[in-house]
Amino acid sequence: MNTKQTLVVIGNGMVGQHFLTKLVESAAKDHFHIVTFCEEPRAAYDRVHLSEYFTGKSAEDLSLVSADFFAEHGIEIHLGDKAATIDRQQKQVTSAKGVVIRYDKLVLATGSYPFVPPVPGHERAQCLVYRTIEDLEAIKAAAENSKIGTVVGGGLLGLEAAKALTDLGLETHVVEFAPRLMAVQLDDGGGAMLRHKIQALGVKVHLNKNTSLIDDGEQCLHKMNFADGEVLETDLILFSAGIRPRDDIARACGLEIGPRGGIVIDNQCKTSDPHIYAIGECALWNGQIFGLVAPGYTMARTVAADLSGTEASFTGADMSTKLKLMGVDVASIGDAHARTQGAMVYTYQNGSREIYKRLVVSQDKKQLLGAVLVGEASGYSTLLQYCLNGIELPENPDALILPQRSDESVGLGPDALPASAQICSCHDVSKGQICGAIEAGCTTIGQLKSATKAASGCGGCAPLLKSVLDCELIKLGVEVSTDICEHFPHTRQDLYNLIMVEQIKTFDDLLDKHGRGLGCEVCKQAVGSILASYWNDYILEKPHIGLQDTNDTYLANMQKDGTYSVVPRVTGGEITPDGLIALGQVAKKYGLYTKITGGQRVDLFGARVEQLPLIWNELIEAGFESGHAYGKSLRTVKSCVGSTWCRFGIDDSVGLAIELENRYKGLRAPHKIKFAVSGCTRECAEAQGKDIGVIATENGWNLYVCGNGGMKPRHADLFATNLDKATLIKYIDRVLIFYVRTAARLQRTSVWMENMEGGLDYLKAVILEDRLGLADELEQQMQHVIDTYQCEWKTTLQDEQKLKRFRHFVNSDQADDNVVFVEERGQVRPANVEERKHFKLIEEAA
């Protein structure tokens, strides 16, 4: 007998009990002495049918264990005793009541607990949860002196709890954080239909509600205060805001836990310790928690088999569900949200009969991937079969949800880029995935971002994403809107013309005359840029403040930790030793990280908002000015050393670069503009990779336009040859203002040129031959910009009112304590997450 090993099972819930039942039926039965800890005062019961406790079932009715089960199988059960700690070295479990059991194998079946959002007031009386028989008893007692009950959480369980509250005779409210009910299982359309039907049954549904505080009510016991300022009075609150795995004892003994909780298991349900298994709702498999009982049962069977030496594995589970919620049929099968790559969607909605159905099929329309049914779920089993067994769909899959067959099908044309082309490198999203999301219904960049994550990292791929979207939508026959955003039914170019023709000077004026709503970061920045190009006012004038992105607002570049970098202008890359020393002194004084940029100047990083004016002041005193590294404006004019020193140099590239940079500095444009000037054809300044490139020849300057480095390099086009300086400048004036007037938002000159009808020839006709008769006007407009140039740092320093903005807090002189630096290679850099935690601990200890 003492050759038997000891098996300890922690938790005697639905899955723990299923495991015991399977184990005693298996060959392993004789090898183990079994001990189980059961925290609850009674052995396992049917939680799935818990609500029936309200409709007359007793605790005995719900029990899953026959009276003599434990005795019959010699299982030692510790009722009402909780396993408190696991010592993996000694391989023993100690309970809350002090029982110590040594184990050979350990199974964790601790389930989950209801998540209660940490809203202030959540611990008040009659704020309850819905998980155990004791919870239900408490609800019943509270309901007796209540009129109104509110469920926080509009998921599956929340709605079941709401049903229970209505059955108890309460006026019932459901408060949901997300914009729809059953956000996990249903799509927007299904959620909306369900809401409609549930409200018709008298339950009041409140979506998009973030409870910020629960305090005393006037008519009721509680008042729930929502973040949007609204309130709801209620006598009883039931939290049903999701479940969290009970992984605390596993965590405490050092087992591997998922980043968002859950005991990590492999296909044999083994945790990171080979002697310990985890099953049911506490287990995390492949990054997933399974909040349903069936997958838990499969895990239980897997472990029972593994312990008897039979091969078995848990490889995920189908999470399809069909239920009647308050009399409403609701079903969700497989990939209801069309997250599968390339998934396509069919939707059927019958408003008068209140039916909503959605089919998600594979790209080739052969496989059913998922479905959502609300109002009528008769097709559930058939659809589930199609889905689980991979049965090939009929030619028109929509026939499965339509009352009548329709012949419409969605066609797709050939693609320019291959489907495998990576569009977003941050999130590794291919063009195929993006097209899939577009087919699944995404029609805006915002939707694509949420669906695929593309462009939600560094954002650098956004323009490319947009062009894929437009191209795909055209293919799908959808009319592509060229409107800048929802606030103006116009393109940037239209807006430019409106501002010019009507002499509009502020965003508010433009919005009143031609827009709607309040505006957004897209139209505000675009209009801010147009106003700045056209009128060249100081960009922080009151009416313009809200139009600037943070870089422009603070006249510096925001870094990842919320500090800024400062880039003084170093025209043409030429700098005196004293200038260099001054930069070094300022950097040293303010503890800034310094780096030589790819634009031939020096960048000073890590300045806090409140330090910016101090730093500018010192830089200005040393003869520097703003380098506009923050603006969609002229950046740098790079130069090579040129004829002054270089033995091959033909002309003075540095001199010209300085002259050009001084001429165009401060010019705001649809995107940034870069120049370079090389002293000979060896092209050391890389002028042919710039928006404007100039190369010296024996007979004058050659002008190149519309080059680009960056994401999609483009060689500049040779535009005019052998120019004298005056002509060169005249042409550049014209090209730049023509670009400012006609380009789309955030379009570099390279893309502008490529999208221009007539291309290079047309541009030559406009600029060199003055085809449009605009040449004088373009030159005059440039002259206005040049005449009204100001160093924005200097202007800001002269204005007390403006300087107010340069402090972290409006009501305190403290600095942001989240900004922490560490040293690397002799300079500072932002601390990473781990390092920050470490500092916080030290601080707290001090």
Partner 1 sequence: MSKWIDVCHIDDLQPDSGVCALVEGRQIAIFYLPRLNAVYAIGNFDPFSEANVLSRGMVGDLGGQLMLASPMYKQHFNLQTGICFEDAAISVPAYPARIDNDRVAIRMSE
Ligand X SMILES: Cc1cc2nc3c(=O)[nH]c(=O)nc-3n(C[C@H](O)[C@H](O)[C@H](O)COP(=O)(O)OP(=O)(O)OC[C@H]3O[C@@H](n4cnc5c(N)ncnc54)[C@H](O)[C@@H]3O)c2cc1C
Q: Which residues bind ligand X (CB under 6 A)?
A: 10-11, 13-16, 37-40, 47-48, 50-51, 82-83, 109-111, 130-131, 157, 160, 246, 249, 280-281, 291-294, 296
Region of 103-111, 204-212, 496-504, 646-654 interacting with ligand SF4 (CB under 6 A): 646-654
Q: CB within 8 A of 363, min separation 6: which ones?
A: 341, 342, 343, 344, 436, 439
Indicate which single residue of 12, 525, 529, 636 sits in contact with ligand SRM (rule: CB under 6 A).
636
Which is nearest to 179 in space by CA: 204, 161, 206? 206
Q: How many Å apart are CA 347 and CA 440, to the nearest integer? A: 11
| Binding at 426: pick from ligand X, ligand SRM, ligand FES, none (beta carbon under 5-8 Å per type) | ligand FES
Site for partner 1 in 180-209 (CB under 8 A): 183, 208-209
Question: Shortest gap between Cβ of 571 and ligand SRM (angstroms)?
Answer: 12
**810 touches partner 1 by CB under 8 A:** yes
Q: Is 640 in the site for ligand SF4 (CB under 6 A)?
A: yes
Least Cβ distance, residue 498 to partner 1 (angstroms): 19
Alpha helices in 320-406 (DSSP H): 380-389
CB 243 within 8 A of CB 161: no
The answer to whether 787 touches 779, Cβ cutoff 8 Å, is no
| Angle ∠(115,118,124) on CA atoms, nearest 5 | 95
Q: In the complex, what is the shortest distance from the CB of residue 370 to partner 1, in angstroms, rounded to a whole number?
A: 20
- The interface partner of residue 425, options being ligand SRM, ligand FES, ligand SF4, none and the CB cut-off 5 to 8 Å by kind, is ligand FES
Distance CA 755, CA 743 (A): 9
Q: Which is nearer to ligand X, 69 or 738 (CB)?
A: 69
Tokens 């309970």 belong to 95
Q: In what order do the strands lie in the sheet with 5-10?
A: 76-79, 32-38, 5-10, 105-108, 276-278
Over the window 701 to 730, marking each residue x when it contacts ligand SRM by CB under 6 A and - when it does not, the resulting string is -------xxxx-------------------
Provide, rounded to whole angstroms, the least separation between the CB of residue 563 and ligand SRM.
10
Question: Could you tell me how many residues of this chain bind ligand SF4 (CB under 6 A)?
Answer: 13
Which residues, in sequence order, are CB contacts of 628 under 8 Å at separation 6+? Answer: 569, 634, 635, 665, 666, 792
Instruction: Tell me if 278 contacts ligand SF4 by CB under 6 A.
Output: no
Most distant CA pair in the chain: distance in Å?
106
Q: Which lies closer to ligand SRM via its Cβ, residue 105 or residue 714? A: 714
Q: 527 near 521, Cβ under 8 Å?
A: no
Number of other residues whose CB lies within 10 A of the CB of residue 404: 6
Which CB, 402 or 545, lies closer to partner 1? 545
657-683 burial, b if ≥16 CB within 10 A, otherwise e?
A: bbbbbebbbbbbbbbbbbbbbbbbeeb
Q: Is 467 in the site for ligand SRM (CB under 6 A)?
A: no
User: Helices 492-501 and 725-742 meet at what angle, rounded to 10?
Assistant: 110
Instruction: Find the angle CA(290)-CA(292)-CA(294) to the nearest 5 degrees.
Output: 100
Burial class (CB in 10 A: 0-12, 13-18, 19+), 303: buried
User: Residue 211 Cβ, how far from partner 1 at the closest point, in Å?
Assistant: 10
The least distance separating partner 1 from the CB of residue 632, rounded to whole angstroms, comes to: 14
Cα angle for residues 445, 446, 447 (degrees, 5° grid)? 95
* Owner of token pair 């067959």: 405
Q: Applying CB under 6 A, does 202 fall inside the site for ligand SRM?
A: no
Query: Is residue 225 left, alpha or beta, with left meaning phi > 0 and alpha meaning psi from -120 to 50?
Result: beta
Quick one: which of 132, 150, 367, 557 contacts ligand SRM (CB under 6 A)?
A: 557
- The answer to whether 646 contacts ligand SF4 (rule: CB under 6 A) is yes
CB atoms within 10 A of CB 200: 11
Per CB under 6 A, does 710 bind ligand FES? no
DSSP state letter for 462: H
Output the smallest distance, CB 832 to ligand FES, in A.
19
The residue among 174, 171, 177 whose CA lies nearest residue 220 is 171
Residue 10: which of partner 1, ligand X, ligand SF4, none does it interact with, CB under 5 to 8 A by kind? ligand X
In angstroms, what is the minimal distance from the CB of 282 to ligand X? Answer: 6
358 close to 377: Cβ distance less than 8 angstroms: no
By CB under 6 A, is residue 458 in contact with ligand FES?
yes
Among residues 818, 822, 840, 841, the one that binds partner 1 under rule CB under 8 A: 818
Per CB under 8 A, 537 contacts partner 1: no
Q: From the list 217, 460, 543, 562, which residue makes contact with ligand FES (rule: CB under 6 A)? A: 460
369 binds ligand FES (CB under 6 A): no
Quick one: 646 or 819, whose CB is closer to ligand SF4? 646
DSSP three-state, residue 461: coil
Cβ distance to partner 1 smaller for residue 71 or 810: 810
Q: Where are the beta strands (DSSP E) in 524-652?
A: 557-558, 564-566, 593-596, 602-607, 634-639
Instruction: State yes or no: residue 684 binds ligand SF4 (CB under 6 A).
Output: yes
Residue 461 interface partner, choices ligand SRM, ligand FES, partner 1, none, CB cut-off 5-8 Å depending on type: ligand FES
Examine residue 680 and tell whether it contacts ligand SF4 (CB under 6 A). Answer: yes
Per DSSP, 333 falls in state: E
Q: Which residues bind ligand SRM (CB under 6 A)?
A: 460, 557, 565, 567, 595, 597-599, 601, 603, 629, 635-636, 638, 672, 674, 708-711, 748
Q: Which residues bind ligand FES (CB under 6 A)?
A: 424-426, 454-455, 457-461
